[in-house]
Structures are given as C-alpha cells and as structure tokens.
Amino acid sequence: MKRRGFIKKSGLGAGSLFMGGSLVSYIVSCTKTDMMNGGNMNMSGQSQPVKEGDFNRLLPIPGTVPVNTTLNAQATTANINGSTISVLGYQANGILGPTIRAESGINTNINFQNSLSENSNIHFHGLKIPADMDGHPKDIINPGSTFNYKFTINQRAGLSWYHPHPDGDTASQVFKGLAGLFIINDAEEAALNLPSGSFEIPLVIQDKRLSSSGITYNPSMGEIMTGYMGETIIVNGVASPFTEVKTKFYRLRILNGSNARIYNLALSNNADITIIGNDGGLLKNPVTVKNILLSPGERLDAMVNFTGLTLGTEVFLQSNAFSNGGNAQGTQGFKILKFKVTQTESDPFILPAQLSSLDPINASSSSKTRNFIINSMQMSAGMNMSGIHRINGKTYDKNRIDETVTANTKEVWIFNNSQGNEPHPMHLHGVHFQVLERSGGRGHLIASEGGYKDTVLVLPGEIVKILVPFADLKGVFVFHCHNLEHEDDGMMLQYQLI
C-alpha cells in the first residue's frame, strides 16, 4: 500500500492508521471535538480568505502551439504579483504552459521533457485517447527523461486541458504552476462563426498561496482533508488582472485549474452569462444564467455581451458568495478579473438558437449500474475508520482493477455523497458522460451540465447519476475526485475497459 499524503504528513507508517495507533486516536478525538463544534468533520474545516488585488496588471494570453510541440516541465520564474518568483512552467520564464490548438482528426506528437527534479507526466484531461497516452498516474517519466505523446484527436470541438498526474505528486506540481489548455476545433463549431481572435479569451482561473520567493505548497493535515486553497486568485498566471474590451460579444473559454477552490462565477453588473459549452464541447442550445458554479477540472464556454456599455465602464468577472460547498469553501464573494470598456464598435453578432446537433443518449440503453460512496469519512459502530477520502471504502492501488467494463457498452454510474460534508468534483479519464440526475443538495442539474462532461461536482448531501458511453479504448484508466489533495490522498480508483 502506498503511503498517502495524510500519513506522510503525520510521519507515521501506513499500518498505524488502521491498527489503533496514535493517529487513529488523534483522528477520533479530533472528530469528536469537531462534531461538538457544530458537526463538522473536516478536521480543520477552515476557509482560506481571498485577498483581492488592484486589477492593474494586464491579463496575459498564453501562446498557442500546434500538436507537434515540446512541453518542457521545469523550475523557472514568473511575475505573478509584481515581482519575479519561483514557479513551475512548461517553458522557461513563465508559469503554466502554451495553449495547444488542434483540428479534430489530426495526429499529435507532443514531446514531453521532464526537467523537474521529480517524476512527472502529462494527463490530457478531456481527451478520449488510448490508455498508454493518457498520463495514467503509474506511467511516470523520470527526471531528465522524455516521452512522446502520440495519439489521434478523435472527438468534437471543445476545451480540454493538460496537467501532471504522477501518483501522489499531482497536487503540488499543478499548484506550483503546471497546467495548460488544449482547444479542439471542428467544422460544426466553425459554422457558428463564434467570436474569435481577440474576442475569444481563454481564462485559466486558479488560487495560489504566494510568498516573496515563490508559490507555497505545504498542506497541513486539515488541508489534505479539505483541499489546499490560496489567498491570491490568478488568471492566466497573473494576480487580479484586467483586460480591455470593445462593445461587442466575447467568448470566454474558462477552466477552473485550482486544486480545491470552487467559484460561483458571475458578472459584477449582474449581466447574463450565456453558457454555450462545457467540458465536452458545445451544448445543443445556449442557456442563460446570472451565476454558475465551476469546480476544479470543469470548463465553461460562455458568451458575455458588452454591447451598449459606455466607454470607461468596468465590469468584473467575480465569484459570488455561496454557502453549500462545505465549510472549507467559505462564503466569501470576490472579484477575479476586470473588463474595461475602451472602444465602441458595433457588433452584428447573433448567437444561433441551436449550437449543435447533439442528442441525449437514452438512459434505458444502459447495461449496468455501479454505485460509488464518496463520503469523506465513514465511522462504523466500533469507531473504526472505514474511509478517509475513499471511494467505496478503497484508496488508489495501481495493482488493483476496481471496475471491469465491457467496451462499447453504456453504464449508469452513481456518485453518492449523501452522508458527506465535503464537495467532490468527480472525473473519469477516457470518456465523456451525460449527467442524468442530481438528488439531495441542489436537487437539480445546472445550466452547464447538459451535453457531455468529464467532471461533475457532487456537493455535500448530493447523489449524482451519470450515463457513460464507453467506446473501445481498451486499457486501464483512473477515475477520481478532482480536489487534487483528495486525489493524491487516494480518492482514485481504476477501471479497465475490456
């Protein structure tokens, strides 16, 4: 059994956790105390307040590269907050990595160089590619080594992303700066003539914990339980940025690339946000909202309309307060990005009422239902620990196949957080799924949950049912919570497609 972060932090062997050692008594007593303090079992359960900046730094747009490219993971420097500090990046002199942009149907040859001093790899989050190219946590590239990720892009247009996925070290590498966008285009999308060029803005939203020298990643035991959050919100690698806009429609391609923080995205002038796509690409029809939750790993394709605003108007993309995310998410509202209207230009753009020919799969075509209990902690009658960040009582083991799935079948998977008090964004590798139903908690699907997804947020008290059309990418894939502290702590299982 692999030593998990939770255990690493305590300095105790894995056995101690289950044999009545001091760690168990620590957990039990801590839990009892927390329960007396209002029923919270998050151990620390504290939120990390956000400090807003001045919104006077220009929003950078990551450079775009084709699918034959080199991504060189390295320790480097970046200017996030006004001074140059140490970060990780997929190139020299910058946090994050370039945006890979590709037409559907083409073949990639992505040369990964691991110039870090630790194991790493690349997972292409949202891509339906063979298991040996997917950046499985067991498929690691040693420091100083290279690997060529070669696959055919065989899916519709949409916003995916890439990030490291080495077992146990994903959270720290992502938090310190390793992530990038992967945009796929196709003919169906091109026919819509959506805003493009400077009117299509990619936004990687993350929270970081900054010191004068770098990005700090040192989660406490409590933060491994709740997820690690930062006080500084950065977009495309810069804290509290602004961007100038014209009086036109803009297409925002948004990724929540945070380890654990959920955002309740809204515009400060309470204008509409029109959701046109999500993890899996365009929705069938646009859906207009005032605010929308976006959890770690999820993406949003959203239209915003600055037409009719007077010059000099400032509109913020912000996160509105929400209170159903569990204690650690806090209940603070904060600004993320400032749009400054600096130029008037008429815009004839009209959003089509139908975006895509997508039709839902009939749920009755499912041949199997699988249930997954994702409560963070389950105490049995004898106060034995039966789960900390587990799925069905289990933590990740690369030598164990948890679910065996027949290729070309459809299945219903149910994530049950009905007894839990922490949010879990659940992510499946290798597939896109439909969200069928949510009971408990919010009790309904939200505007961004039509079409296809690869990550779905399961809030405390919720049971979420998804329909997964498995194709024929035979091999072993993982599925896990995309709170990266939970994932590194073992909240990840394997399915094998046979």
424's contact among Cu ion, ligand C2O, none, with CB below 5 to 8 A by partner kind, is: Cu ion
- Choose between 57 and 136: whose C-beta lies nearer to ligand C2O: 136
Per CB under 5 A, residues contacting Cu ion are 424, 481, 483, 486
CA 236 – CA 53 distance, rounded (Å)? 15
163's contact among ligand C2O, Cu ion, none, with CB below 5 to 8 A by partner kind, is: ligand C2O
- Choose between 245 and 484: whose C-beta lies nearer to ligand C2O: 484
- Choose between 137 and 219: whose C-beta lies nearer to ligand C2O: 137
- Choose between 91 and 483: whose C-beta lies nearer to Cu ion: 483
Per-residue tokens: 428: 């499946």
Residues 370, 450, 412: CA angle, nearest 5 degrees: 10
- Choose between 121 and 329: whose C-beta lies nearer to Cu ion: 329
Rounded to a whole number of angstroms, the minimum distance from the CB of residue 380 to ligand C2O is 30
480's contact among Cu ion, ligand C2O, none, with CB below 5 to 8 A by partner kind, is: ligand C2O
Rounded to a whole number of angstroms, the minimum distance from the CB of residue 181 to ligand C2O is 12
Rounded to a whole number of angstroms, the minimum distance from the CB of residue 462 to ligand C2O is 21
Environment class of residue 375 by beta-carbon count within 10 Å: exposed (0-12), middle (13-18) or buried (19+)?
Answer: buried
Rounded to a whole number of angstroms, the minimum distance from the CB of residue 477 to ligand C2O is 9
Q: How many CB atoms lie within 10 A of CB 147?
A: 19
483's contact among ligand C2O, Cu ion, none, with CB below 5 to 8 A by partner kind, is: Cu ion
486's contact among ligand C2O, Cu ion, none, with CB below 5 to 8 A by partner kind, is: Cu ion
Rounded to a whole number of angstroms, the minimum distance from the CB of residue 206 to ligand C2O is 13
Beta bridge partners of 432: none
C-alpha distances (whole Å) from 401 to each of 388, 414, 429, 475, 492 are 20, 18, 14, 11, 11
> Which residue, judged by CB position, is nearest to ligand C2O in the bound state?
125
299's contact among Cu ion, ligand C2O, none, with CB below 5 to 8 A by partner kind, is: none
481's contact among ligand C2O, Cu ion, none, with CB below 5 to 8 A by partner kind, is: Cu ion
434's contact among ligand C2O, Cu ion, none, with CB below 5 to 8 A by partner kind, is: none
57's contact among ligand C2O, Cu ion, none, with CB below 5 to 8 A by partner kind, is: none
- Choose between 156 and 427: whose C-beta lies nearer to Cu ion: 427
Task: Please say whether the beta carbons of 293 and 258 come within 8 A.
Answer: no
- Choose between 128 and 163: whose C-beta lies nearer to ligand C2O: 163
Rounded to a whole number of angstroms, the minimum distance from the CB of residue 398 to ligand C2O is 13
- Choose between 355 and 481: whose C-beta lies nearer to Cu ion: 481
Nearest to 475 by CA among 430, 437, 412: 430
CA 118 – CA 183 distance, rounded (Å)? 28
**Length of the chain measured in residues:** 498
- Choose between 449 and 488: whose C-beta lies nearer to ligand C2O: 488
**DSSP secondary structure code for residue 78 in this structure:** E
- Choose between 338 and 486: whose C-beta lies nearer to Cu ion: 486
Strand 385-388, strand 377-379: pairing:
antiparallel
- Choose between 118 and 188: whose C-beta lies nearer to ligand C2O: 118
125's contact among Cu ion, ligand C2O, none, with CB below 5 to 8 A by partner kind, is: ligand C2O
Per CB under 6 A, residues contacting ligand C2O are 123, 125, 163, 165, 297, 427, 429, 478, 480, 482
165's contact among ligand C2O, Cu ion, none, with CB below 5 to 8 A by partner kind, is: ligand C2O
Rounded to a whole number of angstroms, the minimum distance from the CB of residue 417 to Cu ion is 9
Rounded to a whole number of angstroms, the minimum distance from the CB of residue 464 to ligand C2O is 18
Rounded to a whole number of angstroms, the minimum distance from the CB of residue 161 to ligand C2O is 7
> Which residue, judged by CB position, is nearest to Cu ion in the bound state?
481
Rounded to a whole number of angstroms, the minimum distance from the CB of residue 401 to Cu ion is 22
Rounded to a whole number of angstroms, the minimum distance from the CB of residue 163 to Cu ion is 17
CA 123 – CA 134 distance, rounded (Å)? 5
- Choose between 189 and 485: whose C-beta lies nearer to Cu ion: 485
297's contact among Cu ion, ligand C2O, none, with CB below 5 to 8 A by partner kind, is: ligand C2O
Rounded to a whole number of angstroms, the minimum distance from the CB of residue 124 to ligand C2O is 9
